[in-house]
Amino acid sequence: MRIALVTSAALPALDPDDRPLIPAFAALGARAEPVRWDDPAAVWTDFAAVLLRSPWDYFHRLDEFLAWCERTAAAVPLFNPPALARWNLDKRYLLALARQGAPVVPTALREAGTRTDLAALAAERGWREVILKPAVSADSWETLHVTPERYAEGQAHLDRLLASRAMLVQPFLPAVESHGERCLVFLDGEYAHTIRKNPLTRGGRWAGLPEGIPVTPEPAERRAAEAILDLAVPERPLYARVDLVRGADGAPLLLELELIEPTLFLAPHPGAADRLAAALLRRAGLAG
């Protein structure tokens, strides 16, 4: 029984964090192997199931990737499924969740082809420093932290990207540096573990992972993550990552909900890869 671990040309041997999945599947009698999502030689029906892991170039070829997801899922179980990928790939979902009452980092959407005066928007919202990010992107691509002395640079960045794509503008929250971004990982629908990402350690590595330190989430963070998942995906998927940051009042706010190809921080958590492998086989109807 073969399981495809979907990756990209930049990571033909998988991201290091995903490599524990290979022995985890082997212990269950399955052979897991990395396969590029865009490999023309791949025969997806040769696999019993397909798991999205590091296809991190997908947003550059979005229509092609979504078509691949649909074709693959029609032939073999794909995790997470295409409907979730289609909903989650555009960060407009943050605005949708906010309208439903989820605690989300304040977010202003600007559509492609429009122009926005960045300084005026920040002043109107009461934001001193802002974060600019494309509505569709991955791995912090074209994300820019703009401080007051860099507003001219930020305006040029925003103008350039708005010419072809929708953009999000958010306030920079100082707690990202003091408390750190908290990434709560859910496997098989249940809470598994938390990593604190701290930009002050950017450039360093821990257990082969960038700026990640295992922590125990605060009760409010755990409650917020559970509530956000229940609101967004009541039938919880095989895997999910809820990225939270403290707001000005100390309450957790949703920064991103990752359902397509998040780093799951398997390597520093013994048993996590085993748990994910077993859950996939069970959900795909392959458990023996």
Indicate the CATH number for domain 175-259: 3.30.470.20
SS (H, E, C) the chain: CEEEEEECCCCCCCCHHHCCHHHHHHCCCCEEEEEECCCCCCCHHHCCEEEECCCCCHHHHHHHHHHHHHHHHHHCCEECCHHHHHHHCCCCHHHHHHHCCCCECCCEEECCCCCCCHHHHHHHHCCCCEEEEECCCCCCCCCEEECHHHHHHHHHHHHHHHCCCCEEEEECCCHHHHCCEEEEEEECCEEEEEEEECHHHECEEECCEECEEEECCCHHHHHHHHHHHHHHCCCCCCEEEEEEEECCCCCEEEEEEECCCCCCCCCCCCCHHHHHHHHHHHHCCCCC
The C-alpha atoms of residue 193 and residue 95 are separated, in whole angstroms, by: 26
Q: How confident is the model at residue 199 (pLDDT cuts 50, 70, 90)?
A: low
Nearest to 88 by CA among 114, 122, 52, 115: 52
Place of tokens 């082809």: 113
Phi, psi of 184 (to 5 degrees): -95, 120
pLDDT tens digits along 214-235:
999 999 999 999 999 999 999 9
CATH code 3.40.50.20 for 2-88+275-283: yes
> Is the pLDDT higher at 211 or at 52?
52
pLDDT tens digits along 173-193:
998 888 889 999 999 999 999
Contact 265, 275 (CB under 8 A): no
Which pLDDT does position 211 carry in this prediction? 57
- Judge residue 41's burial from the number of C-beta atoms within 10 Å of its C-beta, 0-12 exposed, 13-18 middle, 19 or more buried: exposed
Phi, psi of 14 (to 5 degrees): 80, 160
Q: What's the mean pLDDT when you consider all of the chain?
A: 93
pLDDT tens digits along 85-133:
999 999 999 999 999 999 999 999 999 999 999 999 999 999 999 999 9
The C-alpha atoms of residue 65 and residue 217 are separated, in whole angstroms, by: 34
Q: Where in the chain is the domain with CATH 3.40.50.20?
A: 2-88+275-283
Q: How many CA atoms lie within 13 A of 266 on its CB side?
A: 25
Q: How confident is the model at residue 254 (pLDDT cuts 50, 70, 90)?
A: very high
How confident is the model over 193-206, as a mean pLDDT? 61
**Interior CA angle at 186 toward 185 and 189, to 5°?**
175
Contact 127, 146 (CB under 8 A): no
Nearest to 225 by CA among 201, 202, 252, 261: 252
Q: Where in the chain is the domain with CATH 3.30.470.20?
A: 175-259
CATH T-level topology, domain 108-171: Dna Ligase; domain 1 (3.30.1490)
Which pLDDT does position 258 carry in this prediction? 97
